Amino acid sequence: MNRFLRVNMARLSTDIKDTGDEYNLLGGRGLIARMMNEEVDPCCDPLGEANKLIFCTGILAGTPAPTSGRLSVGTKSPLTGGIKEANAGGMFGRRMIDLGFKAIIIEGKPDCDALYILKINENTASFILADNYRGLNNYKLHEELLKEFGDEIVIASIGCAGERCYKNSSIQISDTEGRPSRAAARGGVGAVLGSKGIKAVILEKANNKTRTIYSDYDEFRKANKGYIEGIMKNETSGMAMPAFGTAVLVNPVNSLGALPVNNFSSGSFDMVEAISGEEISRLQSERGGSNGHGCQPGCPIRCSNIYKDQNGQYLTSGFEYETIALNGSNLGISDLDLIAKIDRLCDDLGIDTMETGCTLGVCMEAGIIDFGDGEGALSLIGEMFEDTKFGRVIADGAARCGSHLGVKRIPAVKNQGLAAYDPRSLKGTGVTYATTPMGADHTAGNTIGDPSVSPYEKKGQVELSTGTQVGMATFDSLGMCIFSGFCTADPVNINHLISMMKSRFGGDWDADRLFGLGIETISLEKKFNKAAGFTDKDDTLPEFMYNEPLPPNNNVFDITTEELSSAIPF
Amino acid sequence: MNRFLRVNMARLSTDIKDTGDEYNLLGGRGLIARMMNEEVDPCCDPLGEANKLIFCTGILAGTPAPTSGRLSVGTKSPLTGGIKEANAGGMFGRRMIDLGFKAIIIEGKPDCDALYILKINENTASFILADNYRGLNNYKLHEELLKEFGDEIVIASIGCAGERCYKNSSIQISDTEGRPSRAAARGGVGAVLGSKGIKAVILEKANNKTRTIYSDYDEFRKANKGYIEGIMKNETSGMAMPAFGTAVLVNPVNSLGALPVNNFSSGSFDMVEAISGEEISRLQSERGGSNGHGCQPGCPIRCSNIYKDQNGQYLTSGFEYETIALNGSNLGISDLDLIAKIDRLCDDLGIDTMETGCTLGVCMEAGIIDFGDGEGALSLIGEMFEDTKFGRVIADGAARCGSHLGVKRIPAVKNQGLAAYDPRSLKGTGVTYATTPMGADHTAGNTIGDPSVSPYEKKGQVELSTGTQVGMATFDSLGMCIFSGFCTADPVNINHLISMMKSRFGGDWDADRLFGLGIETISLEKKFNKAAGFTDKDDTLPEFMYNEPLPPNNNVFDITTEELSSAIPF
C-alpha cells in the first residue's frame, strides 16, 4: 500500500506509483525530510513553483497501532524559510490509508490564478475549477463541499488566509463530524496549498480498503495490546487527557510559572482558574459539550472536545491548551467563550491559533490594543478576515508583525511564534525551541513533566531536549500522536513498540534502530535548513529571555549559544 | 589627528582617546569593519544596547586630497541584519576633522525613552535633553537647532522616522547651506541613532583646527595636484557631472536598457527625457536653481544641485540619479517636480529615497496604488509621516513590505532595495548587489561604463565586480568620494594616489598595498556577516531576475550561485 500520488498543478497531470517495500521504513516526518532533501531546492521560494507540498502518513499507518492515523504535511515553510512538518489529526490521514496512498505530493503551480478542488479516489485525481468556492472560509466551505460531493468525503482545505498566501495559513482537516476543526497549523502550510492553486483536497470513500501485510500478525496484535494498555495506564494519556483534554495543562504549567501571560511577561496568571481544563469540563457538562472526544475513530486517548456556547450551540472543537494559553493568559484574557470564539475564527479563516495568539500579544505590547481587550483581539482578527493592510501584517505572524511595530519583546524563533511554555521556566523545551529545525515548536520536543531534571536548572537540559526531540521525531515518523508516547517513560512500552516494528516489518529491532528513525529524520531536516542558509546563529531564543527574569520565579534562560550548539548533534 | 570620542548613552559619559599613529591606515569603511568585528557582537539586536554607531572619517581626511572629507557611518544594520557603512557628503566629516576626531563612537542606550541632543566640541560632548525637538522632522529641526546653537554648527540628525526606529531611517547631514539635504541613507542607520536616544549630533565650530603631518608635504602637493587634474580631465567626473549632476546617468542607463521602470519590469522608459539630467539643468536654469553645486567646499566634481520649484522657491538639494530613477521611472512617474517633492519629503522625514522608491514600486505591483500615480505615492509617504500602521510597513523597506503584500517580484538583496540599475542588463553591478556584504548596493561596486566587458554578457562579470568592489572599498576607506575614482581607469592617476599615500604616511606603497586596504575591508565585513549568520545562500538576486527577461533587450541574470561564490574571494 506504499503508493505515491503525484499531482502537477502546472500541467494538471497526475501520476500514481506503487513504491513496493522501498518506503516501508519511511513515513510522516521522516519521509518528508527525505523527499524535501531529494526533490526540493532548499533555496527555492516557498510560494514558488519549485516548492512541493507533501501529505503523507506514517510508518505504522494501516495497522491498528493506537493513534497511527496521523497526517503529516511537509513543505518548505513560508513562515520560517526552513523545512516544515505540520502534523494533524482528523480523518484525512486515515482516509489516505484506506485509499492506499502513503503520500500525495503536490508539485508545480498554475500559471494563472486558477483555483481548483483536487478530488482523489483510489484510481485518480481530478481537477475541478473552484471559482464558486473562492473566498469561502473553512466552515462554510466544508458544508458546501459535503453538499456537492456527498457526506462521506474527507477534506483538507484552506480558508481565505491560504488563498491570500498569508504566512500564518493553516490547512484545516475534517474531524469525525465533518467539520474543519483539525489543523495542519504551523509554518504557513496553507499558503503553500494556496500558492499551488488548490482550495481543497477531497478524498472520496475507498471502495476496497488496502490490507496491511505483517511479518507476524499475532505478535503484532499482542504487542499492540500491551502498548494500548500502557497508554491507558499512563496518568496523563490514560486519565487526565480524556477527562479534561489538553487544557488539563493550564493549571500545572501555571503552577510551574511557565504559562505565557501578557506577551510572555509573567509565568503565572491570576485568573488561571477561569481558563483551566477543569473549568471547560464543568462548563461543557452544563452546556452539553463534551470532553473525551477523539479526533480519529479508535483513539484511546480522546483528548479533544466539543465546545458549545452559552446557548448550547456548537462553537468550536479541538479547543486545546496551546490555543487557550496563547489567546487567553498571553493576552490577559480570561473569558473562555471569547477564547473559544478566537479558536473558531482561526479555524474558519484557516490560520494557526498559536501564531495568532503570539501575534496578538505582540500587538498588545505595541499598544495597538490593551492587554485584556478581548473585543480588540476579535477586531484585529476581523482585519485578517477583511484583508486590510494591517490585517496582512498580523497574518504574517508574530516575528514580522512585531518587527514592523518596533516591538523588542517578540516571542519567536526562526520567525515562528513560541508555544505556550515560557522557556525561562521550562528550559528543556527552550532548548527545543532554539534548536529544532522547525522553529519554536513544542511538538518537536516538549520536556514538560520530565522528572529527571528541574525545569529551572540549566544543567542537563540540552541532553533532555535532545532525547525528547529524537523521541518526538520518531513518533512523527511512525505516524503516531505524540501523546501516545508519554507511556514510553516505562521501558516495557518501548519494548512493545519494538515488537510491533519487528512483527510488522520483520528483521532485528531494538531501541537504537527504533529511535534511529528520529535521529535520521532530524539529521535530514538540519541538512535541508543548512542548505537553505540557516546557521547556528538561528538557533537562539528571543534576546529578552536571556536578560529579563520571569516572574514569579525570576528565572532567565541561561543556556549559552555554545551549549545549545551541542543539542541534536546528528 | 587620530582622536576617538566615545559616548556612552546608558551612562551619559564621554571618553576621548588619542590613538596616536595606530589607526593611521584605518579609516572610513575599513575602520568600521575593524571596529565592528572587535567591539560588537555580530548576533546582537541592531536596535539594542550592544550595537554601536560609528561616525568616522577616512585615511586621507585632513589632507587636501579631493573629496577626502566624506563621512562614514557604521553599525549593524536593522534593515539587513549585517554590517553597514553608509557614506555621506556634506559638512559633518569635514567638521569632525577640524575638531580633531577621527571617530565618534556611540555606545549603549538610555534605559528610558529619553531623547538627547549630543553637542560636541574639541574637548567634550554634552547631553542636552531634546524633548522640545521630539517629533520634528529634519528641515524644521535643523532650522531650530541653528537658531538655538548658532549658525556655525554642523548637524547629523534624524527625523520622526529615526525616532520611531523605522528600518529605512537615514541620518541627515548639514549641507553647505545648513540644510539637511545630505544623507547617510542606507541600511537604517537613523533607526540606530534613534535607538540610542539621540535626536541630533551637533558639532560646534573648531577653535583650533588640527594640523596634518606629512612624510613629504611637497611631494604630496604635487601628487595631489596631478590627481585633481586627473579628475577634471575625466569625462564623467570633470565634465558630465558638474554640468548635469548624477542625473546625467538617466539617459545612458535608459539607452543601456537598465533603467528601472514599473518595479523593474522594463529597462527602458518612454518618458525618459522628462526626468533626465539635461531636463533638470534646463528647468533649473530657468528657475534659478543650480547644477554644479558641491556637497563639500573645495570639491572639484560638484555633482550636487539645488532644485527650485515652479515659483522659484527652494524645494530640495542633492537630487540624485538614484532618487530620480527609483521614484520616477520605477514608479512610472515622469513629473520631475513631484519626484523632487518625494526627495524633499524623504530628507525631511529622514528615510532613504532609494529604499522608498523600491518600496513604493512594490506597493504599486501589489495594486495598492497604480503605476504612474504620483499623488498616490505622496499619500503613501504621508502614511509614514503620520505613522499609520501601514506607514510602518512601508517604512520597513521593500523586502518586508513586499513580503506582507504577497508580492513575488521584490527588488531587494539581503532585505535592502536595489539601486537604480537593473542587473539583468548590467550584470557586473548585479554581481555586486548579490555578493557585497552591504545588501543591494551600487556604491559597493558599480560596473557601469566599464568598457572591458559587455554588460549583457555573463563572462567576466564576476572578476569585473570583484575589482570594482575592491576599488570602492578602498575609496570608502580613504574617505574619498567614489566619483573621484573614475579617473583611476588611467594608471597615471593610480600612481598619483600611491604617491599621496607614500608622501602622507611614509613607507613603501604600490597598487597592491593601496588596494589591499579595500581587500582587508571586505574581508572583515564578510567575517562579521558570517558570524551574524549569513551564508552564501544570501548572496543571490531576486528570483524573478533569473527567469523573467528584461525588455527591451530581454536579458536575464544568468550568473549562477556557484559562479557568484567566486566573487570577492577574500
Contact map slice: B 507-566 vs A, CB within 8 A: 531-535, 537-538, 540, 543, 561
Residues in chain A with CB shorter than 8 Å from the CB of B534 are 533, 535
- Please tell me the predicted confidence (pLDDT) of residue A291: 87
Tell me phi and psi for residue A112, to 5 degrees. Answer: -95, -170
Q: Are A180 and A137 in contact (CB under 8 A)?
A: no
Residues in chain B with CB shorter than 8 Å from the CB of A79 are none
What lies within 8 Å, CB to CB, of A542 at 6+ separation is A409, A410, A411, A412, A413, A418
**Cβ-defined contact of B396 to A390 (cutoff 8 Å):** no
Question: How many CA atoms, within 13 angstroms, populate the side-chain half-sphere of residue B268?
Answer: 10
The span from the CA of B7 to the CA of B5, in Å, is 6
Specify the DSSP class assigned to residue A405. T
Mean pLDDT of A117-141: 97
pLDDT digits (tens, 9 = 90+) for A415-460: 999 999 999 999 999 999 999 999 999 999 999 999 999 999 999 9
Residue A240, chain B, CB below 8 Å: the answer is no
Residue A51 pLDDT greater than 70, yes or no: yes
Residue B473, chain A, CB below 8 Å: the answer is no
Pairing of strands B3-8, B101-107: parallel
* Strands in B234-347 per DSSP E: 290-293, 304-308, 314-317
The span from the CA of A501 to the CA of A482, in Å, is 17
- Please tell me the predicted confidence (pLDDT) of residue B208: 86
- Please tell me the predicted confidence (pLDDT) of residue A1: 65
Residue B1 pLDDT greater than 80, yes or no: no
What lies within 8 Å, CB to CB, of A230 at 6+ separation is A487, A490, A492, A493, A496
**Averaged confidence pLDDT in chain A:** 96
| Locus of grid cell 505622496 | B378
Indicate the SS3 state at residue A430. helix
Q: Are A355 and A298 in contact (CB under 8 A)?
A: no
Radius of gyration of chain A (CA): 22
Residue A319 pLDDT greater than 90, yes or no: yes
Mean pLDDT of A310-339: 97
**Ordered DSSP codes for A2-58:** -EEEEEETTTTEEEEEE-TTTTTT--HHHHHHHHHHHHS-TTS-TTSTT--EEEE--
- Please tell me the predicted confidence (pLDDT) of residue B211: 87
CB-nearest to A537 from B45, B392, B533 is B533
Q: Are A77 and A170 in contact (CB under 8 A)?
A: no
| Band of residue B292 on the pLDDT scale cut at 50, 70, 90 | confident
Q: Are B134 and B157 in contact (CB under 8 A)?
A: no
Q: Which of B299, B317, B298, B320 is nearest to B309 (CA)?
A: B317
**Cβ-defined contact of B543 to A393 (cutoff 8 Å):** no
Q: Enter the C-alpha cell of residue A289.
A: 459539550
**Cβ-defined contact of A48 to B164 (cutoff 8 Å):** no
**Averaged confidence pLDDT in chain B:** 96
Q: Which of A382, A354, A481 is nearest to A65 (CA)?
A: A481
pLDDT digits (tens, 9 = 90+) for B511-535: 999 999 999 999 999 999 999 999 9
- Please tell me the predicted confidence (pLDDT) of residue B488: 94
pTM of the complete model: 0.93
Residue B390, chain A, CB below 8 Å: the answer is yes
CA dihedral A292, A295, A297, A298 (to 10 degrees): -60
**Cβ-defined contact of A537 to B531 (cutoff 8 Å):** yes
Report the sign of the C-alpha dihedral through residues B421, B424, B426, B428, in that order. Answer: positive
Residues in chain B with CB shorter than 8 Å from the CB of A396 are 403-404
**How far does CA A156 lie from the centroid of its chain?**
14
Q: Nearest residue on chain B to A79, judged by CA atoms?
A: B403
In Å, how far are B6, B122, B178, B204, B450 from B208, measured between CA atoms? 21, 8, 22, 12, 44
User: What's the first-to-final CA gap in chain A, in angstroms?
Assistant: 31
**Residue type, position B208, single letter:** N
Q: Nearest residue on chain B to A539, judged by CA atoms?
A: B533
Specify the DSSP class assigned to residue A451. T
Q: Are B378 and B342 in contact (CB under 8 A)?
A: yes
pLDDT digits (tens, 9 = 90+) for A485-518: 999 999 999 999 999 999 999 999 999 999 999 9
What lies within 8 Å, CB to CB, of A532 at 6+ separation is A42, A43, A76, A81, A82, A83, B537
- Please tell me the predicted confidence (pLDDT) of residue B2: 86
CB-nearest to A393 from B45, B404, B540 is B404
Residues in chain B with CB shorter than 8 Å from the CB of A406 are 164-165, 392
Residue B10, chain A, CB below 8 Å: the answer is no
Mean pLDDT of B333-342: 98
- Please tell me the predicted confidence (pLDDT) of residue A485: 94
Residue A368, chain B, CB below 8 Å: the answer is yes
Residue A144 pLDDT greater than 80, yes or no: yes
**Cβ-defined contact of A540 to B43 (cutoff 8 Å):** yes
Question: How many CA atoms, within 13 angstroms, populate the side-chain half-sphere of residue B311?
Answer: 3
Tell me phi and psi for residue A27, to 5 degrees. Answer: -165, 165
B382-389, long-range: CB < 8 A, 24+ apart = B384/B161, B384/B166, B384/B349, B384/B351, B385/B137, B385/B160, B385/B345, B385/B349, B387/B160, B387/B164, B389/A368, B389/A389, B389/A390, B389/A393
**Cβ-defined contact of A531 to B537 (cutoff 8 Å):** yes
CB-nearest to B389 from A45, A390, A543 is A390
Indicate the SS3 state at residue B28. helix
Q: Which of A542, A180, A114 is nearest to A343 (CA)?
A: A180
| Band of residue A298 on the pLDDT scale cut at 50, 70, 90 | confident
Q: Enter the C-alpha cell of residue B178.
A: 545648513
| Chain B contact probe: residue of A393, A410, A543 with most B CBs at under 10 A | A393
| Band of residue A481 on the pLDDT scale cut at 50, 70, 90 | very high
- Please tell me the predicted confidence (pLDDT) of residue B471: 97
**Cβ-defined contact of A165 to B393 (cutoff 8 Å):** no
Q: Are B89 and B295 in contact (CB under 8 A)?
A: yes
**How far does CA A515 lie from the centroid of its chain?**
21
**Residue type, position B335, single letter:** D
Q: Which of B294, B58, B70, B86 is nearest to B175 (CA)?
A: B294
| H-assigned helices in B64-187 | 92-99, 138-149, 160-163
